Amino acid sequence: MTTAIRTQGLSKTYKTFGKAPVHSLRSVDLEVHENEIFGFLGRNGAGKTTAIKLLTGLIYPSSGTAALFDKDARLPEARRMVGYMPEHPYFYEYLTPHETLAFYGRLRGLDRAARDQEWDRISGLLDLRDIADRRIRSFSKGMRQRVGFAVALVGDPPLLLLDEPVSGLDPLGRRRIRELMRELKEAGKTIFFSSHVLADVEEICDRVGILVAGELAACGRIEELVGSVPKSVELRASGINASLAAELKTRVSCFMEEEAGYCRFVVPDLDSANRAVKQIQDAGGSLVYMHPVIESLEDFFTRIQEGAGVALPEDNGLAVLTSKAEE
């Protein structure tokens, strides 16, 4: 399997005269495979944008290395393989989308015929034809995001580095970007993007990495990170008399009595659920349903940020890392 992105000990420290140094990224080891969609997550200030700028070669690391398709990310031949969309795309305000893509096409070394072909291809992907001749100064944030994504596609690079690509988009715009990412993956592209919209990440990403204070706290496939073990179990039962209801209330959470002897309640795990079911059946009641509640990516992300830690098998192809301060 070809590696599109590899970092080893990648770190970035900003030093300011008279102030303590800021460690924006701390010894990050990461691999992103070719032709996968990789979501890069973290709170504001966690180091996501710094990491992406290091991969583009816009800034240099304080220590460690970054390689794109086994080429040093700082080299021109590596940069030519990258399409980059910054978090806040900047454009010449008096240019139109058509002129903007032509400008970046020239920077890519494309001749006029190739630039025209790129416009036809990209404008169709991002619905830019209706606004082709409008000046960008009149655009909303969402429209600017579409142009920023379009610029990243100029030259048909194999690797896309996208910093918050759905920021400012309405639900339909976000849906179109998700669809486009899938189409680009099917076309063989590798997509590395940061986002705060965890629902989008959970829907389209093959794997994710989570930064906490500049350190890679977790990395792996979403279904492996969140696991299959339920965080709780919801049950509904019938034939619950007053005595049994009173006893269950002392042992479960979220107990709700319903009409005609029905009740609903939540227990923390399957063992507790099985004990509750036996207790109900022994008292002459019946189980209506038992529904395990599986942890979501948002639940996992929150737990990682709060430093709860996660117990994972050693050989499942993912990693949950402990900060150096805790070792």
Q: If you average pLDDT over every residue of the chain, what do you get?
A: 86
Residues carrying CATH 3.40.50.300, the chain: 3-81+158-225
Which runs of consecutive H residues, i.e. helices, occur in the chain? 48-56, 76-79, 97-107, 112-125, 141-153, 171-186, 198-204, 222-226, 242-249, 270-282, 297-305
At 133-186, the pLDDT tens digits run 999 999 998 899 999 999 999 999 999 999 999 988 888 889 999 999 999 999
At residue 170, what are phi and psi to the nearest 5 degrees? -80, 175
Q: Does domain 230-294 correspond to CATH entry 3.20.20?
A: no
pLDDT in tens, 42-59: 988 889 999 999 999 999
Q: What is the mean pLDDT of residues 270-278?
A: 84
Model pLDDT for residues 289-302, shown as the tens digit of each residue:
888 877 788 888 88
Amino acid at 53: K
- pLDDT of residue 319 exceeding 70: no
Where do we find the tokens 């709860």? 308
The domain covering 3-81+158-225 belongs, at the CATH homologous superfamily level, to P-loop containing nucleotide triphosphate hydrolases (3.40.50.300)
Which residues of the chain does CATH 3.30.70 include? 230-294
pLDDT score of 208 more than 80: yes
**Which pLDDT tens digit goes with each residue over 242-263?**
787 787 777 777 777 776 678 8
User: pLDDT (tens digit, 9 = 90+) per residue, 72-130?
Assistant: 999 999 999 999 999 888 899 999 999 999 999 999 999 999 999 999 999 999 989 99
Q: What is the pTM of this model?
A: 0.80
